[in-house]
Amino acid sequence: MKTVYVGMSGGVDSSVAAALLQRAGYRVVGVYMKNWTQDVAGVACPWRQDLADARAAAAVLDIPFQVFDFQAEYKQHVVDVMVAEYQAGRTPNPDVLCNQEIKFKLFWQAAKAAGTDLIATGHYARTVDGRLLAAADTAKDQTYFLYRVSAEALRDTLFPLGELTKPEVRRLAAKFGLPTATKPDSQGICFVGEVGIKEFLRQYVQAEPGPVVEATGATIGQHDGAIFYTIGQRHGLGIGGGRPFYVTGKDMATNTVYVTDDPADLERAGDHFTLEQLHWINEPPVAGQPYQVRARYRAALIDARLRPVGDRWYVQLSRPERALSPGQSAVILQDGQTLGGGIISSF
């Protein structure tokens, strides 16, 4: 009988993943990853409730349960990196960082050291022989967040929800009598809770007001810190006059946010970019072959051609993508398989 350590976050997905593996004949051990325990901006971190819910689900399943404490590593490899990227004017993805550094690195390594054969999570994804494939439920597919996981970790990973839809998971949770069956899905920053990115960043940076400038060069308002704004953002600009404005760029050196009232400006010159900090799960792409690109979670796939340029890759899209932003992840796919990707660096 093979042993599987299941990352149980206290949500319905990971609880059902553990239940399915138990019923499939594995020896299942539930593990809660204690990554973050600090309250932020008056918002309570949900870790105590999440831990209690994970422990309660494990008790219903009558499986062993452990807590792995990764708080120091999460702070160093996820939070500190995320804050530094925002300070540099880029837009990082903490879920990608968490999967890369915590769930499929530290957890995987710690579980293997403890003697497990495999690990598992409640992600909506599929893996075959170290290759990452989309989940059957395309609306819930989470492979975008997993593109920086290694093939070695994927070979030791099970995704029990890969063939299921979210409603099916909810029904199974109720059928199994799991206490998480009706628990709402978590929102916000990975493991931190339902706190906005602006409120989170304020705990670590001091921001100053600065000008909001439109395409004509006219200053039309004042923002409360360029670090808090992302390309394509519409709300929270504090600009009156009735016209909707969108962020098109920002200059961290001058603390300036640039905006437009023409949504088409977000797509102009957005049909190409370069990728850095590349990660290929298996083999890298072949220059000139057709691929598909997803530039943000749940964004539509866009046909593209790629070619290496030094230690980066140049990506030419078949059509413009809206609101591309330095620092965000772009994922490369072919025939439903996620090959890997990188960080958008320039246009």
Summarize pLDDT for 93-116 with one digit per residue, the tens: 999 999 999 999 999 999 999 999
Query: What is the share, in percent, of the chain residues with pLDDT greater than 90?
Result: 83
Q: Give the pLDDT band (50/70/90) at residue 71.
A: very high
CB 322 within 8 A of CB 85: no
Q: pTM for the whole thing? A: 0.94
CA–CA gap between residue 30 and residue 116 (Å, rounded): 12
For the purposes of burial, counting CB atoms within 10 Å of the CB of 212, is it exposed (0-12), middle (13-18) or buried (19 or more)?
Answer: buried
CATH of 206-266, one of 2.60.40.10, 1.10.10.10, 1.20.210.10, 2.30.30.280: 2.30.30.280
Which residue would you say has higher pLDDT here, 237 or 277? 277
What is the CATH code for 272-346?
2.40.30.10
Tell whether the model's pLDDT for residue 193 goes beyond 70: no
**Mean pLDDT computed over 73-96:** 95
**Mean pLDDT computed over 220-242:** 86
Q: What does the pLDDT look like over 121-179, one tens digit per residue?
A: 999 999 999 999 999 999 999 999 999 999 999 999 999 999 999 999 999 999 999 99
The catalytic site residues sit at 98, 190
Tell whether the model's pLDDT for residue 190 goes beyond 70: no
* Residues in CB range of 66: below 8 A, 6 or more apart: 29, 30, 31, 32
**Mean pLDDT computed over 184-190:** 74
| Phi, psi of 135, deg, nearest 5 | -70, 160
Q: Where along the chain do its domains lie?
A: 3-176, 206-266, 272-346
CA–CA gap between residue 102 and residue 149 (Å, rounded): 10
Q: Which residue's entry shows tokens 């799960």?
A: 281
What is the CATH code for 3-176?
3.40.50.620
